[in-house]
Structure 1
Amino acid sequence: MERTETPADLAPWVEYHWTLAWDLPEHTAYPSAVIPHPACNLTVEHGAARAAAGGEVVLVTGVTTRRFEVEVTGSGWVHGVKLRPGGLVALTGADARAWVDRTAPAAELLPRGVLDVLAGLAPGTPAADATKVAAAAVRPLVPETVDPAHNRLLHLVEAMLGDRTLLRVDDVAERHGLSRRALERLFARYVGVGPKWVLARYRMHDVVTVLDSGYDGSMADLAAAHGWYDQAHFARDFTALVGVPPSSYRRA
């Protein structure tokens, strides 16, 4: 797995690029799971053999509300463009809600010229070279004028990610001078899920980071510090997204 930075001119829409390559012995499977982010991915996949691909290699995966799981076998190579929250909508005009928990051929959204460039990426292409090609393919999608609503969304998401004191949707709305309804409409339009879900996912990433750093306090305190006031609810959310209860994750 290798990450590469996106060119500066694409940064308002693309967060980074990632390249994944694998080569496993016969009869060996590797389960891979990722805690979801409120973002879409544009991928070129060789060897992943996902049923949703329909034989195509260029795919779009919308915001995933569940833990993203895939079983890796054989050999393969994937180059991905991780878009910023709302990036898919800002670049293509897509309905974000129609892509939640969905992977489909990118031909549903992207013009043929973009698809042809991406489909030309061959397995084994060095990550830096693949990033240059993918960036060149995405660049024609950039709108001629700035979308102020998308800019506002990015500002809100940056605050939600960086300010750990924001634990409730009402906190975000009040901090930024918006009504809760206006905030929810903005997220529904550009992300496809509500601000409450986004806050919960970011705080869950924080929880996992704290546990990884060797946290030895009570789970009740950990849950409360990150916005869960019901420990049972926290345990259910953690298990659904990480795959095991928080206490088992810490022991492991």
Structure 2
Amino acid sequence: MLHPGRGATVISLSRHKPAVRLARIVEFYWLVRWDRRGLPAYEQKVLSHPNVHLVFEAPRAHVYGVDRSLFVRRLEGAGHVWGVKFRPGGFRPFTDRPVADLADRAVPAGEFFGPEVDRLNAGVLGGPADAAGIASFVDSFLLGRLPEPDPVVERVAAMVEHITATSELRRVDQVAEEFGVSVRRLQRLFAEYVGAAPKWVLRRARLHEAAERAAGSGGVDWAAVAADLGYADQAHFTRDFTAAVGVSPARYAESGRAEA
């Protein structure tokens, strides 16, 4: 979530654990509440991760593929939204096509889960935003459709988690070598299971690191950040950050300090 300080004054965001048996495909549940009654609409910007989400929202539930651009959500009135963040690769068993086909798209969830998902959506939105109660309903819904374990899902999730956690990884061939696969095989796996190319996942992970540093207090040595993240020069890093976030790293950091 970009500009987290500003966002915290507008929305309430909480995370919740899924049932233990769902942990192999679901990373966590999330609940967003807001109340803008009598106030202007607010746009929250999100620099997405390489995950598919099932979102219970008005007027109907949707499955969101990996958003490779900047996701913007406009909030008006008062309400809440419940989301299921699948682990990288975790949504693949629910669709009959490569997850890359969902990239940058929001598809009615009924296409994957049938009309029952819209009935659940009405229940999730029709009552209070009771996290424990909603989690229980969603647990039951997904457990009733839990696919057989897929070892490829586990392997792909491990790849993405390793990329995210390892700043030293900067090239696709490094990832392929570490996991003992060819670059071509890695690309096919990511298209089939993740929904974004390994190069995009690498770059997005490093941009998340940069955004977190920019959101911190104090000055930032952007040339050092660019070098730490594997960029050949600061100009290349600045172009990537600006293309993804919409403003330069320096301007993003300045706006964050203004919020504090």
Is TM-score (shorter-chain normalized) higher than 0.5?
yes
Q: Select 1:57's aligned residue among 55, 60, 74.
A: 60
Q: Select 2:217's aligned residue among 203, 214, 217.
A: 214
- Any unmatched runs of 5+ in structure 1? 47-55
Does residue 9 (structure 1) correspond to residue 21 (structure 2)? The answer is: yes
Q: Which residue of 1 aligns with 2:45?
A: 33
Q: How far is 1:212 from its partner?
A: 2.5
Inter-partner Cα distance in structure 2 for 1:125 and 1:133: 12
Q: How far is 1:112 from its partner?
A: 3.0
Q: Select 1:139's aligned residue among 143, 158, 178.
A: 143
Q: Select 2:35's aligned residue among 5, 12, 23.
A: 23
- Any unmatched runs of 5+ in structure 2? 1-12, 256-260
3-state SS of paired residue (2:113): coil
Inter-partner Cα distance in structure 2 for 1:128 and 1:2: 12
Q: How far is 1:32 from its partner?
A: 0.4
TM-score (norm 2): 0.87
Contact (CA 8 Å) 2:110, 2:116: kept in 1 or not?
Answer: no
Cα distance 1:68–1:203, how it changes in 2: closer, same or farther (>3 A)? Answer: same
Inter-partner Cα distance in structure 2 for 1:2 and 1:221: 33
Q: How far is 1:4 from its partner?
A: 0.8
Task: Report Cα offsets for 1:209-229 as digits up to 9, x if no partner.
Answer: 222333635312211211221
Task: Report Cα offsets for 1:11-30 as digits up to 9, x if no partner.
Answer: 11111111111111335111
Q: Which residue of 1 aligns with 2:5?
A: none
Does residue 108 (structure 1) correspond to residue 111 (structure 2)? The answer is: yes
Aligned letter for 1:43?
A: V
- Aligned positions of 1:127-206 closer than 5 A: 127-144=131-148, 146-206=149-209
Aligned letter for 2:66?
A: V
Task: Report Cα offsets for 1:57-88 as digits up to 9, x if no partner.
Answer: 21111100011102211122111111111122
Contact (CA 8 Å) 2:65, 2:102: kept in 1 or not?
Answer: yes
The 10-residue stretch of structure 1 (160-169 or 185-194) with the greater mean CA deviation from structure 2: 160-169
The 10-residue stretch of structure 1 (239-248 or 207-216) with the greater mean CA deviation from structure 2: 207-216
TM-score (norm 1): 0.89
The 10-residue stretch of structure 1 (101-110 or 231-240) with the greater mean CA deviation from structure 2: 231-240
3-state SS of paired residue (1:214): coil
Inter-partner Cα distance in structure 2 for 1:216 and 1:113: 51
Aligned letter for 1:235?
A: T
Q: Select 1:120's aligned residue among 101, 123, 126.
A: 123
Give me the identity figure in percent. Answer: 38
Does residue 69 (structure 1) correspond to residue 81 (structure 2)? The answer is: no
Q: Root-mean-square deviation (CA), in Å?
A: 1.7
Aligned letter for 1:120?
A: G
Q: How far is 1:178 from its partner?
A: 1.1
Cα distance 1:217–1:72, how it changes in 2: closer, same or farther (>3 A)? Answer: closer
3-state SS of paired residue (1:85): coil
Q: Which residue of 1 aligns with 2:4?
A: none
The 10-residue stretch of structure 1 (21-30 or 147-156) with the greater mean CA deviation from structure 2: 21-30
